[in-house]
Amino acid sequence: MVKRVFITAPEAYQPRFREAFRRAGVQELVPVFRPFIRTVATPDAAEFRDFVSRHEDFDFIICSSRMAVTVLAMSGIQFSASDGRIIAIGKDQDAVRSMLGVEPALTDAEPSMMGIVEALKRLPDMGAKRVAVLLPAFSALPVPSTITNFLEALALTRADVTTVHCYCTSALGADEYDDVVAALAGDGIDAIALTSGGEAHVLADVLRHASCRGIELDVPVYSFGPYTTKCAHEAGLTVCATSSNFHSFDEYVCFLKRI
């Protein structure tokens, strides 16, 4: 039986998702892409340019996402191949290698923001370190608890932490909700696949919008990993299943094959 999976990942992630489906040779799943959040790089913002001007002051630069790596690559900073300051999550480490030409630090960290904190805690003299964290600013979206919890945990290392907003993440406009509801109600969608907490927040708003119009959508929701599931629960969603392997879209597609 062929199933249609509604994928809410940002447009920038769609090529990687499509390639993951191609590599998996999945015939029984048809992806339906509808981005629920948008990300826009802001490399010219004063906050980021200030960071660029003094990047050498930091012992570590943490990229919270692949987009953060992308913006860092746009900065004009010339990193040496031996620069050991850049930290990224999971597969984002590959982007550090390809875009920045350096080997990322803490490659053995568990692939999550809290995994980075745990890896940093094992280093000596963290209280004397200066750390920059490249983050998104949020528009019409709450700051995910994954980020606030990460920053709180990072502060407990006693490092000198500077947050740097280098791109903006915004929610799907409410004027587009009716189109989404129509797609979920009428296009034979069998599952919704979330990849981030922001998407979960938008989906919760879409379902409330549909309910207010007398439309009850009962499409099972699947999650990329435990942190996305945590945000989904905070938004009031029920998650049918969570992928236990969340290092890449390839692993997520393999998980979706089993739904």
Q: What is the pLDDT of residues 102-121, one digit of tens each?
A: 999 999 999 889 999 999 99
Residue 88: per-residue pLDDT: 97
Question: 40-170: which CATH topology?
Answer: Rossmann fold (3.40.50)
Q: What is the pLDDT of residues 41-83, one digit of tens each?
A: 999 999 999 999 999 999 999 999 999 999 999 999 999 999 9
| Average pLDDT of the residues of the chain | 94
Q: How far is residue 52's CA from residue 110's CA, in Å, rounded to a whole number?
A: 28
Where do we find the tokens 């904190």?
117
Statement: residue 2 has pLDDT above 80: no
Query: Cα 213 to chain center, whole Å?
Result: 31
Q: What is the pLDDT of residues 224-244, one digit of tens each?
A: 999 899 999 999 999 999 998
**Structural domain spans, the chain:** 13-35+172-224+233-248, 40-170
The count of other CB atoms within 10 Å of the CB of residue 202 is 26
Give Cβ neighbours of residue 11 (< 8 Å, ≥ 6 apart).
33, 35, 38
Q: How far is residue 163's CA from residue 191's CA, in Å, rounded to a whole number?
A: 36
Statement: residue 202 has pLDDT above 80: yes
Of 206, 197, 216, the closest CA to residue 178 belongs to 206
Residue 1: per-residue pLDDT: 64
Statement: residue 245 has pLDDT above 90: no
